[in-house]
């Protein structure tokens, strides 16, 4: 091997090294997601709703499952259920929604409060029930419910993604003079398969239950596929 060949190999090695970013992940304890659906399991109404679950059937629920956000920190600890209507038109268009994607069934949220099921799709109703926010755990539940952003406890520094930063902290909550600063995650979701940007998002939750996105940073890109969106509470925008 001559001098020019050695030099070429060195340059190629340096170029490859520059393309590989080493990222440091700050890990935090994961949540007990099973707490979200314990009441639903105990009732025997989880999954395909049996005929014995008359209240859920009366609301139009053919299926019942836990919501797509963490609710275990909320006080009072009223269980929240995602109600899925499988047939025909929405039982009540004021509450049921069709989310984008391949699954076109109608969905809504139902809360189990003091022995009764009722619809809960509006953010204003959610805030009226669960504010004030008095703990980091409740702030996390508020932030996820009112933004639709997700919690992550599974980040891998060796994942086959294009990392764009040197350090990432998993989901956690910091107490501040203004309230609670919650670290969550978001992505530029679209139906189909493509290279998708993923973000870490800082969300401020005040004791009064107001929610404000205060920072966002793209952390990596990865090829991903999506065929539906999650149902979200609606009716309020984030505080400016």
pLDDT in tens, 126-143: 999 999 999 999 999 999
Is residue 118 included in any domain, yes or no?
A: yes
Structural domain for 93, as ranges: 33-131
Contact present, 179 and 204 (Cβ < 8 Å)? yes
Is residue 92 included in any domain, yes or no?
A: yes
Is residue 237 included in any domain, yes or no?
A: no
Is residue 230 included in any domain, yes or no?
A: no
Is residue 184 included in any domain, yes or no?
A: no
Lowest mean pLDDT across 16-25, 206-215, 226-235? 16-25
Residue 236, pLDDT score? 65
Torsion sign over Cα 141, 33, 72, 128: positive
What distances in angstroms separate CA 17 from CA 9, 12, 13, 164, one per listed residue? 12, 9, 6, 14
Mean pLDDT of the chain: 87
CA distance 217 to 163: 12
Higher model confidence: residue 1 or residue 65? 65
Residue 230, pLDDT score? 87
Is residue 152 included in any domain, yes or no?
A: no
Is residue 93 included in any domain, yes or no?
A: yes
Q: How many residues does the chain have?
A: 240
Q: How many domains does the chain have?
A: 1
Is residue 48 included in any domain, yes or no?
A: yes
Higher model confidence: residue 84 or residue 191? 84
CA distance 91 to 119: 12
**Average pLDDT value for residue range 182-210:** 93
Give the confidence band of 41 by pLDDT, cuts at 50, 70, 90. confident
């Amino acid at each position: 091997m001559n001098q020019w060949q050695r030099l070429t190999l060195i340059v190629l090695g340096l170029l490859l090294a520059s393309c590989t970013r080493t990222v440091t992940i700050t890990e935090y304890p994961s949540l007990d997601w099973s707490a979200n659906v314990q009441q639903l399991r105990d009732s025997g109404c989880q999954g395909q709703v049996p005929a014995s679950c008359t209240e859920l059937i009366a609301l139009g629920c053919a299926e019942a499952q836990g919501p797509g956000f963490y609710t275990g920190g909320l006080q009072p600890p009223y269980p929240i259920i995602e109600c899925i209507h499988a047939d025909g038109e929405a039982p009540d268009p004021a509450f049921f929604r069709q989310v984008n994607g391949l699954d076109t069934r109608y969905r809504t949220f139902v809360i189990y409060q003091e022995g009764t099921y009722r619809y809960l799709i509006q953010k204003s109703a959610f805030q009226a029930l669960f504010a004030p926010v008095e703990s980091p755990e409740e702030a996390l539940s508020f932030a996820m419910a009112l933004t639709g952003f997700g919690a992550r406890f599974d980040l891998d520094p060796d994942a086959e993604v294009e990392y764009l930063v040197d350090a990432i902290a998993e989901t956690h909550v910091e107490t501040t003079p203004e309230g609670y600063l919650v670290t969550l995650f978001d992505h530029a979701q679209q139906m189909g398969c493509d290279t998708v940007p993923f973000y870490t998002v800082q969300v401020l939750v005040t004791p009064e239950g107001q929610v404000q996105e205060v920072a966002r940073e793209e952390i990596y890109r990865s090829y991903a596929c999506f065929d539906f969106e999650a149902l979200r509470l609606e009716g309020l925008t984030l505080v400016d």
